[in-house]
Amino acid sequence: MIFPKAIENTNSFIMKLFNIKIKAFLIVVVITAIGFAQDIDLPNVKILATGGTIAGSAASATSGSYEAGQIGIQTMINAVPGIKKLADVSGEQVANVGSQDMTVEIWLKLANRINELLASDDVDGIVVTHGTDTQEETAYFLSLVVKSDKPVVTTGSMRSSTSISAEGPLNLYNAVAIASNPEAKGKGVMVSLNDQIHAARDVSKMNTTNVNSFQSPIKGMLGGVFYGRLGFFREPNTKFGNTSKFSITGVKKLPRVDIIYAYADMAPDLIDMHVKAGAKGIVIAGVGNGNMTDAILNAAKKAYEDHGVIVVRSTRAATGWVLRDNEFKDKDYHTVASGDLNPAKARILLMLALSMGEKLNDMQELFYTY
The reply to whether 369 belongs to the active site is no
| 49, 84, 169 from 72: Cα distances, Å | 8, 17, 13
Torsion angle of C-alpha atoms 240, 253, 259, 146, degrees rounded to 10:
10
Between CA 151 and CA 78 the distance in angstroms is 22
Between CA 35 and CA 16 the distance in angstroms is 28
The DSSP code for 269 is H
Among 272, 260, 333, CA closest to 298: 333
- For the chain, the C-alpha Rg in angstroms (whole number) is 27
Cβ contacts of 266 within 8 Å, gap of 6 or more: 260, 292, 293, 295, 296
List alpha helices for the chain, DSSP H.
Answer: 4-41, 73-78, 83-86, 104-118, 135-145, 168-179, 269-276, 294-307, 330-333, 343-355, 360-369
User: Is 248 within 8 Å of 112 (Cβ atoms)?
Assistant: yes
Give me the helix-helix angle, 135-145 and 343-355, nearest 10°.
30
Classify burial at 332, counting beta carbons within 10 Å of its beta carbon; exposed 0-12, middle 13-18, buried 19 or more: exposed
Between CA 93 and CA 318 the distance in angstroms is 33
Between CA 321 and CA 329 the distance in angstroms is 16
Query: Which residue in the list 50, 53, 129, 134 is annotated as catalytic?
Result: 53
Torsion angle of C-alpha atoms 164, 167, 173, 178, degrees rounded to 10:
180
The DSSP code for 287 is B
**Could you give the residue numbers annotated as active site?**
53
